[in-house]
Amino acid sequence: NWTTGNVIEEQVAAIREQVGDRRAICGLSGGVDSAVAAALVQKAIGSQLTCVYVDHGLMRKGETEQVEKDFVAATGVQLKVVDAEERFLKALAGVSDPEEKRKIIGREFIRVFEQAQAEIIADQGPAVEFLVQGTLYPDVVESGGGTGTANIKSHHNVGGLPEDLEFKLIEPLRQLFKDEVRMVGQELGLPDEIVQRQPFPGPGLGIRIVGAVSKERLDLLREADAIAREELTAAGLDRDIWQCPVVLLADVRSVGVQGDGRTYGHPIVLRPVSSEDAMTADWSRLPYDVLAKISTRITNEVRDVNRVVLDVTSKPPGTIEWE
Ligand code: XMP
């Protein structure tokens, strides 16, 4: 019979057996799956695991700290944080096209992550043989069920490393659905802010700025997003909505009035949706008073934003994200 306790026990035993006295690496994204996978492997092999977190500067407010502090506190995991904000901002400068942004972010991410892996291997030696991945059952089914090894091509010249590093995969969540992963995470003592986290795209806020990405625009969007999340949580609506992208229309300006003066600022879009699997979605009928509160706070508290609009488009024809 299925209990989270049984799953954890089984996986811990299997991981110990698989890894023996060798070492593993795990990339943390800030999302639920990689966090729970890492926590499970940490429970099994402790300091033989090293986690890597690439801070690309496109995370929401407080999320990097959540990984750096709360996740480490809850698990005791060894964590290597790579601050790559400047590198990502530089690579993204002046780029507005959504697919181009995705390509750049994906490419930079792999480079930074591989560099970190290479450093860990240089430091810990060839016993680093395993890569932990938070693959879930639906991912396994979708991709046709393959498993085994990851062939990581290294573009970096880190002294004495082979050109191609081949990792064996550890995928402790391969038999689980999302809600089961959350239960396992909870049982492992991970904080609610991580375990109950709603889906967030890998390219982060980079694809929630319509227009080019800059530090200034990211900071502004981070503030607006934090306010929306705070009010949705305070209203007890987190479980009712699938996710709520908050989008900055950086290339749009509209006229407003504040105090005695005319303003010429940017709109923020709220995109709360309900969904089962993100393939289709409907816009969430949020209570007007919650929307009013979010709107008032964002326009009062976020510099350069003078308008908040609500996206009332289902998917299809809209996508959940604006880019
Ligand atoms: P769309 O916008 O296609 O989004 O309706 C469906 C779901 O996927 C997420 N999403 C992404 N996740 N990388 C990701 O890891 C991406 O580039 C990406 N684009 C969209 C989105 O947040 C939603 O949950």
Note whether 200 and 51 are within 8 A (CB): no
The answer on whether 62 is annotated among ligand-binding residues is no
* pLDDT given for residue 292 in this prediction: 98
Determine the topology of domain 208-310 in CATH. Answer: GMP Synthetase; Chain A, domain 3 (3.30.300)
* pLDDT given for residue 161 in this prediction: 46
Is the pTM above the cut of 0.95? no
* pLDDT given for residue 146 in this prediction: 64
Total Cβ atoms within 10 A of residue 161:
16
Q: Which sign, positive or negative, has the C-alpha torsion 216, 218, 220, 226? A: negative
Question: Is residue 163 over pLDDT 90?
Answer: no
Q: Which of helix, strand or coil describes residue 262?
A: strand
Tens-place pLDDT, residues 52-81? 999 999 999 999 999 999 999 999 999 999
CA-proximal residue: ligand 1, atom 3 (nearest)? 319
Question: Is residue 304 over pLDDT 70?
Answer: yes
- Chosen CATH of 4-194 out of 3.40.50.620, 3.40.1210.10, 3.90.1150.10, 3.30.70.940: 3.40.50.620
Question: Is residue 155 over pLDDT 90?
Answer: no
* pLDDT given for residue 294 in this prediction: 98
* pLDDT given for residue 101 in this prediction: 98
Residues of the chain with CATH 3.40.50.620: 4-194
Mean pLDDT of the chain: 93
| Cα(160) to centroid(ligand 1), Å | 38
Band (pLDDT 50/70/90 cuts) for residue 259 is: confident
Question: Is residue 308 over pLDDT 50?
Answer: yes
* pLDDT given for residue 144 in this prediction: 72
Residues 102-112, mean pLDDT to the nearest whole number: 96
Residues of the chain with CATH 3.30.300.10: 208-310
Residue 185 structure tokens: 């995470």
Question: Is residue 271 over pLDDT 90?
Answer: yes
* pLDDT given for residue 293 in this prediction: 98
Question: Is residue 152 over pLDDT 60?
Answer: no
Cα 42 to its chain centre, rounded Å, is 20
Ligand 1 binding residues, C-beta < 6 A: 102, 199, 201-203, 243, 278, 315, 319-321
Which atom, in ligand 1's list, is nearest to the CA of 243?
24
Question: Is residue 319 over pLDDT 80?
Answer: yes
Alpha helices in the chain (DSSP H): 4-19, 32-45, 63-65, 72-75, 85-92, 98-124, 137-142, 178-187, 192-195, 215-234, 288-301
The answer on whether 134 is annotated among ligand-binding residues is no
| Cα(273) to centroid(ligand 1), Å | 13
* pLDDT given for residue 158 in this prediction: 42
Min mean pLDDT across 144-148, 258-262, 288-292 is at 144-148
Sole residue written with tokens 């705070």: 230
| Cα(144) to centroid(ligand 1), Å | 21
Question: Is residue 170 over pLDDT 90?
Answer: yes
The answer on whether 33 is annotated among ligand-binding residues is yes
| Cα(161) to centroid(ligand 1), Å | 35
Rounded CA separation 57/177 (Å): 29
The answer on whether 251 is annotated among ligand-binding residues is no
Residues 208-232, mean pLDDT to the nearest whole number: 98
